[in-house]
Amino acid sequence: MDDEDLRVAVYRRFTETGLEPTAAGLAEELLTDQEAVRQALRRLADQRHVVLGPDDRIVMAHPFTSVPMGFAVMGTRTLWWGGCAWDSFALPHLVPGEPEVLVSTTCPNCRRPLAWTVGRDKPPPGRDVAHFMTPAAHMWDDVLRTCSNQRIFCDAECVDAWVAREGLERGYAMDLATLWRLARGWYAGRLDPGYSGREPAAAAGYFREVGLEGPFWSL
Ligand SMILES: [Zn+2]
Ligand SMILES: [Zn+2]
How close is the Cα of 179 to the center of ligand 2, in Å?
Answer: 12
How close is the Cα of 167 to the center of ligand 2, in Å?
Answer: 22
The Cα–Cα gap between 175 and 8 comes to: 33
Strands 129-132 and 172-175: antiparallel
Instruction: Give mean pLDDT, residues 57-66.
Output: 98
Report the SS3 class of residue 7.
helix
Strands 58-61 and 113-119: unpaired
Band of the pLDDT at 196, cuts 50, 70, 90?
Answer: confident
Band of the pLDDT at 1, cuts 50, 70, 90?
Answer: confident
By the CB criterion, residues less than 5 angstroms from ion ligand 1 are 107, 109-110, 112, 154, 158
Determine the distance from the C-alpha atom of residue 110 to the mean position of all C-alpha atoms in its chain, rounded to a whole number.
23
In this structure, the number of other CB atoms found within 10 A of the CB of residue 45 comes to: 17
How close is the Cα of 33 to the center of ligand 2, in Å?
Answer: 30
* Contact in structure between 49 and 18 (CB atoms under 8 Å): no
pLDDT at residue 194 in the model: 92
Concatenate the DSSP letters of all residues of 65-125 into one string: ESS-SS-EEE-SS-EEE--SHHHHHHHHHHSTT--EEEEEEE-TTT--EEEEEEESSSPPP
How close is the Cα of 90 to the center of ligand 2, in Å?
Answer: 10
Ligand (nearest to CA of 136): 2
Q: Look at residue 86 and tell me whether its pLDDT is greater than 90.
A: yes
Q: Look at residue 198 and tell me whether its pLDDT is greater than 90.
A: no
* Contact in structure between 168 and 77 (CB atoms under 8 Å): no
Residue 152 forms beta bridges with which residues?
A: 130
Report the SS3 class of residue 51.
strand
> What distances in angstroms separate CA 120 from CA 98, 103, 114, 177, one per listed residue?
10, 13, 20, 12
Of the candidates 139, 131, 127, the one whose C-alpha atom is nearest the C-alpha of residue 108 is: 131
Is residue 202 within a helix (H) or strand (E), and if so which, with residue range? helix 200-209
Least confidently predicted of 103-107, 151-155, 181-185, 194-198: 194-198
pLDDT above 90: percentage of residues in the chain: 95
pLDDT tens-digit readout, 137-184: 999 999 999 999 999 999 999 999 999 999 999 999 999 999 999 999
How close is the Cα of 86 to the center of ligand 2, in Å?
Answer: 6
pLDDT tens-digit readout, 9-29: 999 999 999 999 999 999 999
Q: b/e map of 157-179 (b: 16 or more CB within 10 Å)?
A: ebbebbbeeeeeeeebbbebebb
Band of the pLDDT at 64, cuts 50, 70, 90?
Answer: very high
- How many CA within 13 A on the CB side of residue 120? 12
Ligand (nearest to CA of 89): 2
How close is the Cα of 130 to the center of ligand 1, in Å?
Answer: 11
pLDDT at residue 205 in the model: 95
The Cα–Cα gap between 2 and 218 comes to: 34
pLDDT at residue 210 in the model: 97
pLDDT at residue 197 in the model: 83
By the CB criterion, residues less than 5 angstroms from ion ligand 2 are 83-84, 87, 147
